[in-house]
Structure 1
Amino acid sequence: MALYLVAFAAGVLSVLSPCILPVLPFVFARQGQPSRHGSLPLLIGMALAFAATASLAAAAGSWAVQLSQFGRGLALLALGVFAASLMLPGLAAWWSRPLVQIGEKLAAQQIQRRWLHSALLGVATGLIWSPCAGPVLGLLLSGAALAGPDTATSALLLSYAAGAGLALWAALRISAGTLARLRAHWLPGERGRRFAGAAMLAAVLAVSTGLDSRLLAQSGGWAGLGSNGLESSLLQAAMPSAQAAERAGNTPAPVGDSAPYTSPLPVESTRPSLEGGTQWLNAEPQSIPALRGKVVLVNFWTYSCVNCLRTLPYVKAWAQKYADSGLVVVGVHAPEFAFEKDRRHVEKALQQLNISYPVVQDNGFRIWRAFNNQYWPALYLVDAQGRVRHHQFGEGGYAATERALNELLREAQAPSTATAPAPNANTVPDTQGLGMAADTASLRSPELYLGYDKGGSLRLAGRPAPDKAANYQPASLRLNTWTLQGNWTLMPEWVQANEAGGRLALRFEARDANLVLGAAGAGPLRFRLTIDGQPPGIHHGSDVDAQGYGQVDATRLYQLVRQQGAVKQRTLEIEFLDAGAQGYAFTFG
């Protein structure tokens, strides 16, 4: 229920986004008509179109996004016709004649025509607005794309659209008196209608020519920072986060404390499955029925995810410590980026991370869906009878997970020849490097995607040009924004430096700054990093030396900065000394 309320509230906040500005003339054009003929059908049509377009994108992937853009073009054409109709009554009479004839057969002509006009205008407006997706809508679409669309996702999208519609309705009601006075004194009769038509037509031209995007890029960046920041805060407040899990679940219990749980571990699911994986690594294919009698720890992860990498030391330590007590660990590698689907990349990561337990590539997310999972990382404990009895979403909760693991091993009554686990003994693994827990007290930067599918906070002196090489000049940076300099190509998942000397800069506040990097061709590719214009010195990460030099030798997560001492805001700049470097996402800790 909480997520539905978050989606609704985020929809309300989306009215504050700068990208709503081109929509307002279309909405206010219905001002002055009765609600049941003007604003109500418009807002219903807009919300339905908004939710339908987003649902289509969630269900069908990239081709649906292209279809959405095609629909957006048709919507702009329709809105242009609406605008011209306000200015030219003859045109309105001509195109609406067939609709009027249909309306005469269904209901009273005038009521039907006004209602239908407003509803069609709302549908077109929804198609224009739908690309303005904030963090909450992005989360819903990502979840639907991974787990498959369902009624819950559609309901969440409708909640988001309903919130947006309510906010616009409130704006209409609040401004009714002001618009009425303006119309009475300055825009009476025919002149007011033509002024509304001109405003709508200007908005259509601004959207179709990209003028609105250029203005927003020059004033605030790539994805609109205003409402997105509010939405992100709302989402973090309402949903369990990895940081909260770290604080609440990583308090170790006293060694030897054998106090049992106040209630038995509940049965969370009786249908876990490891079937449907793409490829098994480190072992022959495993299955839950074949592992009956064993306790199975299933770890959903992906090798470029910093949260997953910070969990791995515990998972590896448990695999070694409890192997003789009846524990089997299975890693389910569910890729976030396309490069993580490549078996060669995963095998190389397993070697570098020293992972020897069975890992299955779940490129089709079939195992992910069987567990109804939604998180990276996620841990599930399956008992000796094949039932899920405990889970942990996100980082943290290590002590609680290990206590549950001990309890399930005792339930399984391991053979006397096996080494019995010490009750509630807490494992203390080596968590240096990328495995070190995040410094949540100083963490002020969220994950930042660089590809335009989920990217945000890019600041440039000009307008971005997706999918083609272009020269860019940087703009001034604010906290949690980034910029480019040189010749780059902006792609759905990454940005690519096309020439040596390309620069990528970021303003952040965190102890650690990491970046998922790859190469377009054969590597390694060299780069040099500065912090506030100086070599990093003692603040360098594990993939950079004190002078700031590093190289891209594989597509993976690179630790660039680990601040020593007090953490403060920093500007990180990377100069790529060779062409072809690809940046995917910044993460922090």
Structure 2
Amino acid sequence: MLLIVIAFMGGLFTVLSPCILPVVPFVFARSDRPFATDRLPLLLGLAGAFALVTGLGAAGLSGAAQLSQYGRWISLALFALFGAALLFPSIATRLARPLSALAERFVTHSQDQRTTRRIGAAVLLGAATGLLWAPCAGPVLGLILTGAALHGATWQTGAALAAYALGAACSLAVVSVLGKRSLDLLKRSFSIGEGLRRALGALVLLTVAAIALGVDTQILAHVPGAPTNRIESQLVGLLESNDTVQKARPASHIMRVSLTASNADALPVQGRLPSLDGATTWLNSAPLSRDGLRGKVVVVNFWTYSCINCLRTLPYLKTWADRYRDDGLVVVGVHTPEFGFEHDTGNVRRALGDLKIHYPVAVDNDYRIWQAFGNQYWPAFYIVDAQGRIRYQHFGEGNYGEAERAIQQLLADNGRAMPADNPKPVLAGGAQAPADPSDIGSDETYVGYRQAQGFASPQPVQSGIAAVYTLPTQLAVNSWALAGQWNVGGEFAEPTAQHGRIAYRFHARDLHLVLAPAADDKPVRFRITLDGAPPGAAHGEDVASDGTGTVTSARLYQLVRQRGTVDDRTFEIEFLDPGAKVFSFTFG
């Protein structure tokens, strides 16, 4: 229930986002109509269309993206007719007849056919507005869509999307009320009713042209960000601090601790170790079972090998596995994939070798262990005592000292003598080095259309087909764009010709990119720049100082590691060969 309430509030706050601007002219143009029979049906149509199409996409149904794209063009044509009707009164009646007839087919039993036609026309215009509205994918909407992607379409997902859309409709209702008052004032003060109606028609037509040509996207890339994401993050924080909704919260990568359900002094019993029988296979070990681990202290770590937050926890897990192995500690990695390539056991086995992981790893491709734990996070770890009881759990990075003290306490309770002095600190380098949380102004950004946000190319995304994109003249911070010929899929984008480029304006010490080679595993060469120049000393471990590198396997690549002052920088990567798959940016 809390998720639905927060989704509604997140929708309310979208009125503060620049991305709401393209649909405002359509709502404002109806401000002079009665609320109950015109404006309210329009807003309900907007909410319903958005929730339906977004829900179909979140459920991963075939053709959802194409339906949305076709719907946008139909909507643009409908609004072009609407704008023309406002601008040219002589043809308004003629243009309205087909719309009225269509409305009557939806509602045929009303006693007042005139009211019926008005309501039906308003609902259709509202549905068209919903198809044109592409809200900023902030933390709240991202929360809903990520959960749907991981767990499938559920009634909770549908209810949350509907609540989000309804919240946005309510905020637009306020815009409509203010618009009506403004129009009434102008009419009374200047007697310009007819001229004002024509001006609104011209505004609608200009907006239609801007959306059709992708000009709205380019303009919004230069609009300073609103406080919406910060407000939504605070709303999401309510979920993180509320234990009652913990198991309903969609999975996410967590850089900092989001919920610590216990502390090393108390270590209350928090449940029993679930079954590990859901693993599709085991690596580095024969299959382990709950009964077979009785008598051992166990750390169960949920991770996925391309997750930067998971990678930064590995030095601690590997150290604990080696440091306390002889005292009865067993570290078990549960590899639960996010991207398609992480379902490949061969890729996981290669990653274990590259990352020098020697403790047992359960491959959880079917999410059965994940679901048995009710887990919702990458990374997450659960510490289990010798009696098979969960005594400590932690989600995200951080609090490693507290977790190690919990391990020591449970080993001591099991009869093992623990050293009195503090253990040596854990050292890590490369992508596994700790992040610099004090100076990270950029968040994880997906490139596939299902979860993409911040896209700023002038052209709208053509999902699932090869299309040509260009870079805008300027990128706002946390905006990114494509250049060249690309095929944008639901999970990744792929350059279909040589010299495809991506540019990203970011603020962080480190920049990583999850990449995979071409479909035939053929390596793909690339070159990066920072502010138009080779990275030099700011290069990451997977790129040379001149900016050159090669995609050889599907994994996370560290491309930027700044050594000096962190400032807003423009990153650009050019793929010298076609076929690379680009999944997501992460920062540190």
Q: 1:343 aligns with which of 345, 348, 352?
A: 345
Partner of residue 433, structure 2: 436
Q: 2:474 aligns with which of 455, 473, 476?
A: 476
Say if 1:132 and 1:179 are closer, same or farther in 2 by CA, change over 3 A: same
Cα distance in 2, alignment partners of residues 367 and 84 from structure 1: 58
Q: 1:157 aligns with which of 158, 161, 169?
A: 161
State the identity %. 45
Matched, 1:103 2:78: no
Say if 1:197 and 1:97 are closer, same or farther in 2 by CA, change over 3 A: farther
Q: How big is the alpha-carbon RMSD for the aligned residues of Structure 1 and Structure 2?
A: 3.7
Per the normalisation by structure 2, the TM-score is: 0.82
Partner of residue 581, structure 1: 580
* Residues 30-58 of structure 1 deviation map (CA, whole Å, 9 limit, x = unaligned): 43444333333433343344334333333
Instruction: Summarize the alignment of residues 82-481 of structure 1 with structure 2, pairs less than 5 Å apart.
Output: 87-88=92-93, 90-91=97-98, 94-98=101-105, 101-104=108-111, 114-129=118-133, 133-182=137-186, 188=193, 210-211=212-213, 214-221=214-221, 230-238=227-235, 239=237, 242-245=254-257, 261=264, 263-267=266-270, 269-270=271-272, 272-411=274-413, 413-414=414-415, 419-422=416-419, 425-426=422-423, 428-460=425-457, 465-466=462-463, 467-470=465-468, 472=470, 475-481=473-479
Cα drift, residue 132 of structure 1? 5.8
Say if 1:193 and 1:346 are closer, same or farther in 2 by CA, change over 3 A: same
Cα pair 1:513 1:587 within 8 Å, conserved: yes
Query: Letter of the aligned partner of 2:257 in structure 1?
Result: A
Cα pair 2:264 2:402 within 8 Å, conserved: no
Cα pair 1:6 1:234 within 8 Å, conserved: no
- Paired positions, count: 561
Cα distance in 2, alignment partners of residues 60 and 363 from structure 1: 18
Q: Could you tell which deviates more after superposition, 192-201 or 487-496? A: 192-201
* Residues 385-427 of structure 1 deviation map (CA, whole Å, 9 limit, x = unaligned): 444332211111212222223333344x25xxxx544479556
Cα distance in 2, alignment partners of residues 295 and 56 from structure 1: 44
SS at match of 2:312: helix
Cα distance in 2, alignment partners of residues 46 and 461 from structure 1: 25
Q: Could you tell which deviates more after superposition, 191-200 or 177-186? A: 191-200
Query: Letter of the aligned partner of 1:163 in structure 2?
Result: G
Cα distance in 2, alignment partners of residues 29 and 528 from structure 1: 48
Cα pair 1:317 1:427 within 8 Å, conserved: no
Cα drift, residue 117 of structure 1? 4.7
Partner of residue 39, structure 1: 39
Partner of residue 546, structure 1: 545
Partner of residue 12, structure 1: 12
Cα pair 1:515 1:586 within 8 Å, conserved: yes
Cα pair 1:528 1:574 within 8 Å, conserved: yes
Partner of residue 27, structure 2: 27
Query: Letter of the aligned partner of 1:168 in structure 2?
Result: L
Say if 1:345 and 1:381 are closer, same or farther in 2 by CA, change over 3 A: same
Cα distance in 1, alignment partners of residues 184 and 564 from structure 2: 60
Q: Could you tell which deviates more after superposition, 388-397 or 422-431? A: 422-431
SS at match of 1:284: coil
Cα pair 1:83 1:197 within 8 Å, conserved: yes
Cα pair 1:402 1:424 within 8 Å, conserved: no
Cα drift, residue 310 of structure 1? 0.3
Cα pair 2:455 2:480 within 8 Å, conserved: yes
* Residues 70-129 of structure 1 deviation map (CA, whole Å, 9 limit, x = unaligned): 55566667767877888225445544455564113xxx6666655555445434433443
SS at match of 2:227: helix
Say if 1:61 and 1:130 are closer, same or farther in 2 by CA, change over 3 A: farther
SS at match of 1:396: coil
SS at match of 1:355: coil
Cα distance in 2, alignment partners of residues 534 and 82 from structure 1: 49
Cα drift, residue 470 of structure 1? 2.8
Cα distance in 1, alignment partners of residues 469 and 278 from structure 2: 44
Cα pair 2:485 2:495 within 8 Å, conserved: yes
SS at match of 1:332: strand
Partner of residue 491, structure 1: 489
Cα distance in 2, alignment partners of residues 54 and 424 from structure 1: 55
Cα pair 2:19 2:136 within 8 Å, conserved: yes
Cα pair 2:513 2:557 within 8 Å, conserved: yes
Say if 1:84 and 1:376 are closer, same or farther in 2 by CA, change over 3 A: same
Cα pair 1:514 1:586 within 8 Å, conserved: yes
Cα distance in 1, alignment partners of residues 484 and 265 from structure 2: 61
Cα drift, residue 136 of structure 1? 2.5
Cα drift, residue 167 of structure 1? 0.9
Cα drift, residue 272 of structure 1? 2.7
SS at match of 1:265: coil
Say if 1:288 and 1:309 are closer, same or farther in 2 by CA, change over 3 A: same
Matched, 1:53 2:53: yes
Query: Letter of the aligned partner of 1:141 in structure 2?
Result: L
Cα drift, residue 378 of structure 1? 1.3
Per the normalisation by structure 1, the TM-score is: 0.82
Cα pair 1:85 1:92 within 8 Å, conserved: no
* Residues 502-538 of structure 1 deviation map (CA, whole Å, 9 limit, x = unaligned): 4444333222222222221444433333434444333
Cα drift, residue 458 of structure 1? 3.9
Cα drift, residue 432 of structure 1? 1.6
SS at match of 2:150: helix
Query: Letter of the aligned partner of 1:142 in structure 2?
Result: T
Q: Could you tell which deviates more after superposition, 236-245 or 282-291? A: 236-245
Query: Letter of the aligned partner of 2:370 in structure 1?
Result: W
Query: Letter of the aligned partner of 1:14 in structure 2?
Result: T
* Residues 518-559 of structure 1 deviation map (CA, whole Å, 9 limit, x = unaligned): 221444433333434444333322222333333222221122
Cα drift, residue 313 of structure 1? 0.7
